[in-house]
Each structure stands twice: as C-alpha cells, then as structure tokens.
A = this chain, B = another copy of it.
Amino acid sequence: MSDYPSALLARLSLNQETVRQWSLPQLADGCARAGVRGVGLWRAPVHAYGVRAAARLVRDAGLRVTSLCRGGFFTATDPGERAAALDDNRAAVDEAAALGTDTLVLVSGGLPAGSRDLAGARERIADALGELGPYAAERGVRLALEPLHPMYAADRCVVSTLAQALDLAERFPAAQVGVVVDTYHLWWDDTVGAQIARAGAAGGAPSRIAAFQLADWVTPLPEGVLLGRGQLGDGSVDLRWFRERVEAAGCYRGPIEVEIFNPALWARDGAEVLAEIVDRFRTHVG
C-alpha cells in the first residue's frame, strides 16, 4: 500500500455497525491495528459499555470518534412523546460531548401512526432543531440532519433528499445544524451534485456538511430494507464521484465514514472485513 494517499486514508472512519460482531474493545483494537484512526459509534453499545469507559477506551487507542448515531425521531404529535424525544436528544448531545465528537447524527423520524402529513412532520423537525441547536452548540456538538432514502419516508425519516435537509438546516446557524451526505441514501438523485455545491457555497465555516458516509447500493433489497447495504464497490454508487463533489464544494475535508449494515459482513471475521474495507476504499474512493 505504499502508493496509497495517506492523507485520504487518515480520513477513513469505521462506523461500528459495519462490524457489529465486534465489541467496543475489539473495535478499538481492530481499528488501531488496521491504521484506521476514526470510529463512528452508536448509542446503544456505548450505553452498554458505559459512556465514560467508551470515551476512555477509544481515546487510549488513539482513535477519534467521528460521529455518534443517533438522535432524532422528532415527528411525534403527542406532547409527552415530543418532550421525551427532546430529553433523549439532549442526553445524546451530552454523550456526544463526552465521547469527544462534534457530530450527532439525526434520523428525523417518519410519519406518526395514521398521519399523511409530510409537511407537518417536517415542520416539527424544524421546531426540534430550533430547541436543540443552542443546547448542542454550547457543548461543542453539531446536529447533523441526515436525509434518508425515500424508501424510509413513512417509518423512519421524512427528510428524503439533500435539498430538503438543507432547506431545514439553513434556517439555523451553521454551527448548530449541518447535514449528512450518505451515498446510500442520495446516490439516485440527479440534483445531489448541485445540492452538495449548495452546502459548500454558503461560505464561511463551518460548512453545512457535517458528515460524509459511504455505503454501496446493491439489490435485491431484503425484507424491511434496513440491512441490505453493499460493501464499497459491490454496487451502483459512483463513490469517487461523491468524494470529489464533496471536496469540490470546498468545505469538507473531514472524516469519511464507512457505514454498512449487512449481515453477510457481520458473519465474517471483523479484521478481515476491515481489511477489505480499506482495500475497497483505496480502489473505489481514493
């Protein structure tokens, strides 16, 4: 790998759900051994291990936490559910700060049961961003609104395109609310290049792009469509095009996180999977 552009490899981050078979200590050790310097963490395994212990573990391994997944689920109409969601998101902000990451990824939430009001649900997301943004920024954490593929619009996230995410984010200071560019969710959209440029064109710092995540699109989709993401290079996404667009926007040189939910990867040896990811990253992204 002597020809590998080390500046780019230094940006590679492994989202822990990509290697769900690994415990947190295995993750920290495995990344350190592979020369991968960033990890994206999820709240549930961090809770199970303990937030402070996880922060120490990762720090001691020389790793940076590039993002915490996830807050969000802001679309309930019931006041009690809504208050609980906001409380939970404040806790998530605190956890992100404790882990030393500046990025809390948000999955905004789908339609409440029986509702068909997409516009109303999107407004409730804006309301929540307005409430949480200052709280997060005071703690050095940015809310990273993630547009999810339109196939999740009903049950997980009514924010389906980068344009919609930017429409929401731009109502707030860039230090409070950014967006996630995830190739799996956005690859099909012929306006995504222009929207990436829009995210960069606002100028100043920080950029609206808070995180950049990679997965490939493969078919057929599995039942429930959650666990069908493809290894880099196995599918339809022009990953290098995305990286070049994000960099051309002139505003994002941060971590590039690989986040693949796929039981076929979980069934394999974690170190072998990570070595494959590094190799695929070099071939298809670098």
Residue from B111, B189, B224 in contact with A220 in the complex, judged by beta carbons closer than 8 Å: B224
How far apart sit A187 and B209, CA to CA, in the bound complex (Å)? 27
**Contact of A164 with B190 at beta-carbon distance under 8 Å, contacts A111-B236, A220-B223, A220-B224 already known:** yes
Is residue A154 within 8 Å, beta carbon to beta carbon, of the partner chain?
Answer: yes
Query: Which of A82-90, A145-153, A267-275 has 4 or more CB atoms under 8 Å from chain B?
Result: A145-153
Residue interface bits A208-252, CB-to-B below 8 A is 1, else 0: 000000000111111111000000000111100100000000000
Smallest distance from the beta carbon of A242 to chain B beta carbons, Å?
11
Is A119 on the interface with B (CB-CB < 8 A)? Answer: yes
- Residues in B with CB closer than 8 Å to A111 are 236
Copies of this chain, whole number: 2
Q: Is the interface of A mostly helix, strand, loop or mixed?
A: loop
Across the interface, which residues of B come within 8 angstroms of A21, CB to CB?
Answer: none
The answer, yes or no, to whether A60 is at the interface (CB within 8 Å) is: no
Distance, CA A270 to CA B141, complexed state (A)? 56
A150 and B223 within 8 A (CB): no
| Minimum C-beta distance from A285 to chain B (A) | 13
Chain A 89-128, CB within 8 Å of chain B: the 1/0 string? 0000000000000000000000100011111001000000
A188 touches B118 (CB 8 A): yes
Nearest B residue to A164 via CB reads B190
Q: Which of B154, B187, B225 contacts A217 (CB 8 A)?
A: B154
Nearest residue, chain B, Cβ from A117: B238
List chain B residues, Cβ under 8 A from A223.
220-223
What are 26 contact pairs spanning A and B, CB under 8 A?
Answer: A115-B236, A116-B237, A116-B238, A117-B238, A122-B190, A149-B151, A150-B188, A151-B221, A151-B225, A153-B187, A153-B236, A154-B188, A154-B217, A154-B218, A154-B219, A154-B235, A154-B236, A155-B219, A158-B188, A160-B189, A164-B190, A221-B221, A221-B224, A222-B223, A223-B223, A225-B225
Given contacts A151-B225, A154-B218, 19 further A-B contacts (CB under 8 A): A116-B238, A117-B238, A119-B190, A122-B190, A149-B150, A150-B150, A150-B188, A151-B221, A153-B187, A154-B188, A154-B219, A154-B235, A160-B188, A160-B189, A161-B189, A220-B225, A221-B224, A222-B223, A223-B223
